[in-house]
């Protein structure tokens, strides 16, 4: 009995072996179609190095993408602050940079609050039609110039203006005899069309301002911008007034169009002063003339002459100067002190220009807050007595810009204004009038 049981077990085992062995063989052969990659056992294994290289490449790509995203984010943030201004008159200019645009208020300052105001105004101008300058409209420019050094500076200024301009220009120079001779000879040698020059004798104006003590290095000539409403022709309605130590980096028509933005009784267009001078904290016992906030710099002025005459500007500034001189005794910054004292009493007179229209390179300047890139600059003002030797971290760029126009060949400025009638001989017959205006130089012969 026991033997029979053992025999059955052997039979069952043999039967199962016969069944499962073919089945396992078939499974093994069918699985041969699938490949299983062995796991790398060593970092030196070729397959392992491929995986590591792929991982490193993926990580580098992620880093590059992250850098690109951060760069794009920074660009978007920068663009949101200073939207660019077209080179022609559709001027988003009041919003070129946050720090530049300051809407008029009774308190002025620099910093984040101004940036927010600038951005808000800039964004709102995108859908608003901007004023334009007619391509043949004459732009009037007034400059006080006396002596050899000022004449050299003004030649560089004129070159920078002519280089960028697309409109006819009319220069009004208030000069002494030295500057008149230099500039007259210069303009007579030039061949630039659609440019006119008038000279006004500064000696005839000295009595108007000689009663004002002035400590500024510009001397008595630094006060003569106060009397332009009386000096310039009575039919001239508006003018851009420039210091001689100015360099333009854009078309002056972009500044001329800002006149269209004046509202109400605004008659003066000025850029905020870019130092703490009028805050009175530059040194102990520093006592500046009264000013609205930081005050305004008069290196670039937009004057609405017709409105100023109606407001009796002559009487206004004289009364203000007489009152302040009783305690201040003299001016420190020439006409700028008196302009600021008038604005302090009459803040409605001023239209504040974006700061890039007068980037001031004074000894205590804060102008670096005004621009983030050289493309933002429109007017450079060398308003330090040190001029090109002033200390500024970007002074090399500014100096190169100035030297470019100093050495620029004026023959390259001889280009016609297409679509505008030629006025080459139009101004050649002007004669002196009762105010001592000297004959105009025959329309510009230029070629410095």
Global pTM reads 0.68
Residue 106 pLDDT: 33
Residue 100, token pair as written in the block: 């530049």
367 in Cβ contact with 361 (< 8 Å): yes
Kindly report which listed range (59-68, 192-201, 255-264, 324-333) carries the lowest average pLDDT score: 59-68
For strands 350-353 and 296-304, give the pairing.
unpaired
CA–CA gap between residue 295 and residue 108 (Å, rounded): 8
Kindly report which listed range (53-62, 148-157, 331-340) carries the lowest average pLDDT score: 53-62
Residue 63 pLDDT: 67
CA–CA gap between residue 241 and residue 225 (Å, rounded): 8
Provide the CATH topology of domain 139-415: Spore Coat Polysaccharide Biosynthesis Protein SpsA; Chain A (3.90.550)
Answer whether residue 172 shows pLDDT above 90.
yes
Q: What is the pLDDT of residues 320-364, one digit of tens each?
A: 999 999 999 999 999 999 999 999 999 999 999 999 999 888 767
Answer whether residue 399 shows pLDDT above 60.
yes
Higher pLDDT, 70 or 318: 318
Higher pLDDT, 78 or 266: 266
157 in Cβ contact with 247 (< 8 Å): yes
DSSP letters along 31-77, please?
A: GGGS--PPPPSSTTSHHHHHHHHHHHHHHHHHHHHHHHHHHHHHHHH
Answer whether residue 52 shows pLDDT above 60.
no
Q: How confident is the model at residue 433 (pLDDT cuts 50, 70, 90)?
A: very low
Going edge to edge, which strands form the sheet with 246-248? 246-248, 379-381, 359-360
- Residue 6's alpha-carbon distances to 1, 64, 295, in angstroms, are 9, 76, 119
- Mean pLDDT, to the nearest integer, of 408-417? 82
Q: What is the pLDDT of residues 93-111, one digit of tens each?
A: 343 333 333 333 333 333 3
CA–CA gap between residue 319 and residue 347 (Å, rounded): 16
Angle at which helices 313-328 and 335-345 cross, to 10°? 110
Answer whether residue 195 shows pLDDT above 50.
yes
Residue 49, token pair as written in the block: 């190095």
Residue 3 pLDDT: 54
Answer whether residue 176 shows pLDDT above 90.
yes
53 in Cβ contact with 47 (< 8 Å): no
- Mean pLDDT, to the nearest integer, of 114-133? 51
- Mean pLDDT, to the nearest integer, of 228-236? 96
Higher pLDDT, 55 or 107: 55
Side-chain half-sphere CA neighbours of 43 within 13 A: 2
- Residue 246's alpha-carbon distances to 100, 240, 324, 380, 415, in angstroms, are 18, 12, 29, 6, 23
Angle at which helices 147-164 and 395-406 cross, to 10°? 90
Residue 288, token pair as written in the block: 């500046």
Residue 383 pLDDT: 77
Q: What is the SS3 assignment for 330?
A: coil
- With tokens 């508006």, the residue in question is 238
275 in Cβ contact with 326 (< 8 Å): no
Answer whether residue 148 shows pLDDT above 60.
yes
- Mean pLDDT, to the nearest integer, of 256-264? 96
Higher pLDDT, 312 or 72: 312
Percent of the chain surpassing pLDDT 90:
41
């Amino acid at each position: 009995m026991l033997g029979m049981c053992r025999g059955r077990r052997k039979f069952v085992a043999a039967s199962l072996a016969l069944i499962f062995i073919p089945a396992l063989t078939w499974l093994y052969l069918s699985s041969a179609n699938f490949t299983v990659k062995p796991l790398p056992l060593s970092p030196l294994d070729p397959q392992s190095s491929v995986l590591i290289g792929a991982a490193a490449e993926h990580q580098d790509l992620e880093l590059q993408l992250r850098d690109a995203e951060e760069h794009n984010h920074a660009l978007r943030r920068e663009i949101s602050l200073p939207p660019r201004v077209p080179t022609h008159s559709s001027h988003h200019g009041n919003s070129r940079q946050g720090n530049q645009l300051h809407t008029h208020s009774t308190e002025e300052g620099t910093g984040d609050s101004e940036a927010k105001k600038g951005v808000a105004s800039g964004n709102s101008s995108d859908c608003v039609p901007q004023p334009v300058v007619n391509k043949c409209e004459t732009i009037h420019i007034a400059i006080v110039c006396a002596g050899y050094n000022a004449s050299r500076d003004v030649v560089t200024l004129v070159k920078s203006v002519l280089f960028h301009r697309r409109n006819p220009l009319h220069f009004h120079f208030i000069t002494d005899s030295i500057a008149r001779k230099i500039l007259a000879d210069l303009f007579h040698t030039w061949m630039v069309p659609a440019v006119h020059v008038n000279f006004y004798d500064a000696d005839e104006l000295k009595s108007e301002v000689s009663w004002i003590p002035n400590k500024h290095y510009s001397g008595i000539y630094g006060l003569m911008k106060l009397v332009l409403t009386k000096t310039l022709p009575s039919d001239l309605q508006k003018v851009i007034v420039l210091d001689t130590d100015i360099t333009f980096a854009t078309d002056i028509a972009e500044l001329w169009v800002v006149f269209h933005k004046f509202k109400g009784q605004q008659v003066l267009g000025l850029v905020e002063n870019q130092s703490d001078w009028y805050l009175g904290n530059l040194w102990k016992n520093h006592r500046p003339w009264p000013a609205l906030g930081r005050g305004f710099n008069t290196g670039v002025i937009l004057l609405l002459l017709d409105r100023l005459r109606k407001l009796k500007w002559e009487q206004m500034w004289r009364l203000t100067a007489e009152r302040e001189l009783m305690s201040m005794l003299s001016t420190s910054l020439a006409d700028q002190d008196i302009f600021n004292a008038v604005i302090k009493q009459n803040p409605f007179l001023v239209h504040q220009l974006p700061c890039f229209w007068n980037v001031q390179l004074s000894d205590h300047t804060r102008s670096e807050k005004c621009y983030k890139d050289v493309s933002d600059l429109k007017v450079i003002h060398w308003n330090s007595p040190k001029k090109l030797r002033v200390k500024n971290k970007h002074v090399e760029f500014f100096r190169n810009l100035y030297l470019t126009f100093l050495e620029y060949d004026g023959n390259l400025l001889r280009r016609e204004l297409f679509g505008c009638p030629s006025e080459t001989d139009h101004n050649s017959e002007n004669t002196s009038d009762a105010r001592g205006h000297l004959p105009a130089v025959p329309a510009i012969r230029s070629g410095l």
